[in-house]
Amino acid sequence: TEFFFTACPSICPKMQAQMLRVYEKYKSNPDVIILAFTIDPARDSVGKLNAYAAKLGIESSKWHLLTGEKDSIYSLAESFLVSAAEDPDAPGGHVHSGNFILSDKKGRLRGYYDGVKEESVDKLLKELDLLLEEKE
């Protein structure tokens, strides 16, 4: 899971480059899905998210770009223990965590990884492999 917005001029492009590594490794594994919630639902319509997915070259059945009510998305980010907020002084008007969050099939949080650092995403890939090997 990640929180992002399509107009992000700072960390989101780096995050998406790293999440593409995760996507490519697991795109044929039915036990892995990627959830990406926009923190800018006022500007990130379903159509805009679809165009963003096409630009990234991803399938929406594997990597879900999601929108909703702003307060619900911010509350969801808080439940994942990551930050997401409007900030008119920030580049793009929003601030958010760059973390990727690994959770299991039961929704339990299993790890946090810096989504802009290759070595952190390497750790995510290793730990996801271990999670996939676990018996329920």
Residue 58: DSSP 8-state: -
The tokens of 127 are what?
A: 């730990």
CA distance 92 to 127: 32
| Cα distance between residue 60 and residue 77, in whole Å | 21
* CA atoms of 5 and 52, how far apart (whole Å): 10
β strands within the chain, DSSP E: 2-4, 34-38, 63-66, 84-86, 94-96, 99-103, 109-114
Q: Give the per-residue pLDDT at 127.
A: 97
pLDDT confidence of residue 132:
96
- Which pLDDT score is estimated for 67? 97
Model-level pTM? 0.94
The pLDDT score that the predictor gives to residue 61 is: 87
State how far the alpha carbon of 70 is from the alpha carbons of 30, 47, 77, 98, in Å: 30, 17, 11, 18
Q: Report, as ranges of residue numbers, the positions in the chain whose pLDDT lies below 70.
A: 136
Q: What is the pLDDT of residue 136?
A: 64
